[in-house]
Structure 1
Amino acid sequence: MGVKKKGDKKGVKKGKAKKEPENPLANLSVEEQYNARLVEWRSLQQILIQETEAADRERASENELRAKVNILCNDLEEEKKRTWDVTCDMTRQYKSMQQEKDEKIKVLEERIEQNQVKIQQRDSQLQEIMKEKEGVLREKEEEVKELRKKIDDMSSRFASILKDTLDQMKEKIEMVNKNWEEEMEVPMLKKLEDFAH
């Protein structure tokens, strides 16, 4: 298709030169024209009925779509409301849990501080007890050393006393044996002689 320019007069002449199409019914009689027009009218009426039915169907379809859209919009609004309610509830729960968590953390931190203070007190008490224990152990070790020394002294004294006693007893036993032998030798010989006779 060519684009017509403003100054193009040939296009204008051609447009005016065209004749309108002739009426095909112009050569027919009035009755024939009437019948043809009646047929055309009935045909147009059928087309109108079909178009009206199609339009009604389209309107019904459009109304159905609108109803569906309205239902979907209502569902969407309800879903938005439910979502909003759920979001609000979850936000409230989250804030409540956050506050509860913060309170628990605060309580636990206070407990930690108290426990640290107790631990420091116990550490200092333990150090004092350890110092006292070390002092007591030193004292006991000194006592044990002194007692061992006394035991050693007493053992050596007892040993010397025992040795002296044993020596004295040995001397006495030897003396008793010697005396006994002297005393018993003569009577025994006599008895043996008597026995032999």
Structure 2
Amino acid sequence: MPQPLLPELHAQPMSGLMDWLNCFRIKFSFNNEVSSQHIRLFHDARSLKYEHDSFYVSLDGGTSKYFAAWGSRGFTSGKQYWEVDVDSSWDWAVGTRKDDGILKESNRDSFLLVCVKEDHHYCLWTTIPTTPLYIEKPLGRVGVFLDFDSGSMGFVDVVKRSLLWRYEDGLFTSPVRPFICTGHT
């Protein structure tokens, strides 16, 4: 019996990308930690459904324990780059959230790359707009490049030295903080 194929593109390494990004590397700590049985971010991602050519995948998962934290610094200008280790997490989200540090039910204040595990597969999504990405799950570290002056942000697969996703210019209108959320089923 043929099995459904999950489309997945392979990103090519970009020569000089990591050297350029490291010029903007910053150090900060994560604080304002929140632990929860149910963090709405992953519930929202799991409730999305993808239908294509009679292939149907439900991302409706079980109960997990999650940990979320905001960066100790907020940003209103300039270019910053940081990396987050996501290798040991099944579900994770990295990116930025509004500077208020409140985890709201809505993702309208988050600009994130989200990874959710479904059976033996991983699905990557972005927020605002919620978009599925058909690329390989990064192993190890994910880099986040924030260019507040142009209002754009990008995510990098550090191991493969490749761009995963880039939010367009003009995205930010208020201060943002680095954000991470990880979980295990």
TM superposition score category, shorter chain reference: under 0.3
Higher RCO (CA 8 Å, separation ≥ 6 residues): 2
Q: Which has the larger radius of gyration?
A: 1
Bigger helix share: 1
Structure number with the higher strand fraction is 2
**TM-score normalised by the chain length of structure 2:** 0.11
TM-score (ref. length: structure 1): 0.10
